Amino acid sequence: MSNQKRNTKAYWALCFVSGVALVLLTMFRPEGFWLGLPTFFGGLAMAMDWV
């Protein structure tokens, strides 16, 4: 197994943008809250290099 560092800037951007969308969905369309969760947590997991 190699210890290569991946460039995670795009994943952090994905996490940040989907976090903003998650907050906006919660404020204006509470029933749409669940739509933002997979993208937010997927972006967070990739940004933290857990995947």
State the pLDDT at residue 50: 79
pTM as predicted? 0.77
Q: Which residues of 10-45 are buried (b: 16+ CB within 10 A; e: fewer)?
A: ebeebbeebeeebeebeeeeeeeeeebeebbeebbe
Q: Are 15 and 43 in contact (CB under 8 A)?
A: yes
Helical residues (DSSP H) of the chain, grouped into ranges = 9-28, 33-47
Provide the residue-wise pLDDT of the chain in tens; the chain has 51 residues: 556 777 889 999 999 999 999 999 999 999 988 988 999 999 999 999 877
State the pLDDT at residue 10: 93
Three-state DSSP state, 33: helix
